[in-house]
Amino acid sequence: MKALLVCALVSFSAMTLADEAKPTSAEQIPVEQYRYGMHLDIAKVVSSTAIPDACNVVPARMTYEDSSGQRHILQYQVMGNGCNGG
């Protein structure tokens, strides 16, 4: 039983170290600023920020993977969700 527990802990530790070795953390990926007409190769959206309840233009970010599997962070401007009646 103890051997099984030790094996499970070792395999979990190895998986944790493998995940930390991937250069996909937000601190390591440079943030790209969106420009009108910019070509984007978005194969999969990983995450995006929530749009605040403001009635003005606010920055938003989207983390995505391109067709080759490389991660990118794109910052763009969006209208907030706080305007009533258009």
Rounded Cα gap, residues 65 and 45, in angstroms = 6
Cβ proximity of 26 and 63 under 8 Å? yes
- The separation between the first and the last C-alpha atoms of the chain, rounded to the nearest angstrom, is 65
Q: pLDDT tens track of the chain, all 86 residues?
A: 555 555 555 555 545 444 444 555 555 899 999 999 999 999 999 999 999 999 999 999 999 999 999 999 999 999 999 988 65
Cβ proximity of 51 and 73 under 8 Å? no
Confidence (pTM): 0.63
Domains and their CATH numbers in the chain: 25-86 (2.30.140.50)
